[in-house]
Chain A
Amino acid sequence: MDKKNLIYLGVGVLLVFVIYNSTKKIELKEVTETQPDNKNFDNSLLPDNIQPPLRIDDGTPIPTPVKKNFTLNLIGVYPRFDTA
């Protein structure tokens, strides 16, 4: 078998593997009533994309959020909240 056909074969096997794995049924494993336990959970072990955000210690200055652009709407004497 020449090199080109080997590459096609490899790509074909890879595609079958990806499709099989992306749609495979999971063996159903039933459990009894269970609730997550906060005491045993350590969220520092989560992957980076779902790690808790940085919490500012109480009493330390709060950073000023970034502003988009200056617009006339930014001129306001009193705080204006969106509440919906």
Chain B
Amino acid sequence: MIYTIPTRYEELTLVIKVYTNSAVNIRIKVIDADQPNTTFTNRDKIVDGESIFFVRMPVSPKTALVYVYNEDLGNLPSGQDKSFEVDSISKEMLEKKLDVIDFGNPLVRSFVNFCTRFCYNAGSMSSGTYVSDDKKFVIKYLPIIEDNGQEQTTPARIELNTGMIEVSKKQFIEFTIPNRMAILLHEFSHVYLNDNQDDEVEADLNGLLIYLGLGYPRIEAFEVFASTFMNAPTDQNKMRFDKIKNFIDNFENHNTYMYE
């Protein structure tokens, strides 16, 4: 089932209430009705009875298309799929925690603005070089990232000496907007927020603090880090994932988590 929701570029949380009679794997996908490759969430969950999906949207399109369907049966029009029922879709205020973000730092202000605009439009922009309005940040949007002719698995990277960011269009086009934000904020943190530029965990947490403070969905951050780590399942990446999970749980519970 696909529903049109007028979101009018507002920041909001979509609340989707779903009922099932048995355990059903429900997929929720929210996309821009007009702009291609612009997805706000794409997640699934086993629902047995009643369940509510919260889709946090710090940015939203003029009109959103909300897909709700049984993952096993595929997307069918209502009436053809009796395995679940969409009770309601409502709009609620977006909960943000802007006080945790150092907006007093002009670099953070500038990059958040640049990164948001890049991530929103990455699905429809051509490859090329993009700069922030103040020319302080540069992103090379490449068809693929390669070293010595060899395609790299990383979706984005930053040159630690210069701050030049490279992004793989091939990978970014498949990502949701929150996925893209989480990745770019991580790269930004390496050079501009970290005490130790080489510290991956410090960059994860510094980037996540901005990401969560802006109100982006928690699940999308888990998802993008998990998929990135799956490409390189090392002990260090397992440790990073545990730290990220701990950090997000603590953020949700209003606890301060200190990075040691």
Contacts and interface: CB of A to CB of B under 8 A. Distances in A.
Contacts, number: 165
Sort chain A's interface into a size bin.
35 or more
A5 interface: no
A31 interface: yes
Interface string B156-193: 01111111111000000000000000000001001110
Nearest to B197: A73
B53 interface: no
A2 interface: no
Contacts of B6: 26
A36 B132 CA distance: 27
B232 A36 contact: no
Mostly, the B contact residues are mixed
A36 B135 contact: no
Given A26-B89, A37-B36, A82 B163 contact: no
25 contacts: A22-B92, A23-B92, A26-B5, A29-B3, A33-B2, A34-B2, A34-B65, A36-B33, A36-B35, A38-B124, A41-B35, A49-B59, A50-B9, A50-B121, A51-B117, A52-B117, A53-B117, A55-B125, A64-B138, A65-B137, A68-B107, A74-B161, A76-B161, A82-B158, A83-B152
Interface string A19-56: 00011111011111111111011010011011111111
B128 A63 contact: no
B88 interface: yes
A1 interface: no
Nearest to B122: A52
A49 B117 contact: yes
A36 B200 contact: no
Interface of A: 22-26, 28-38, 40-41, 43, 46-47, 49-56, 58, 62-68, 71, 73-74, 76, 79-84
Interface in B91-138: 91-93, 107, 113-114, 116-118, 120-121, 124-126, 128-133, 135-138
Nearest to B67: A33
B162 A65 contact: yes
Interface of B: 1-6, 9, 31-36, 38, 59, 65, 75, 77-78, 86, 88-93, 107, 113-114, 116-118, 120-121, 124-126, 128-133, 135-139, 152, 154, 157-166, 187, 190-192, 197-198, 200, 203, 228, 232, 237
A10 B126 CA distance: 51
A47 to B, nearest CB: 5
Nearest to A78: B161
- Kindly list the 8 A-B residue pairs having the minimum CB-CB distance in the complex, ordered from nearest: A65-B163, A66-B136, A52-B121, A63-B135, A56-B129, A50-B120, A25-B90, A36-B36
A31 to B, nearest CB: 5
B161 A32 contact: no
Contacts of A22: 91-93
A54 B133 CA distance: 7
Nearest to B118: A53
A84 B65 CA distance: 32
A43 B197 contact: no
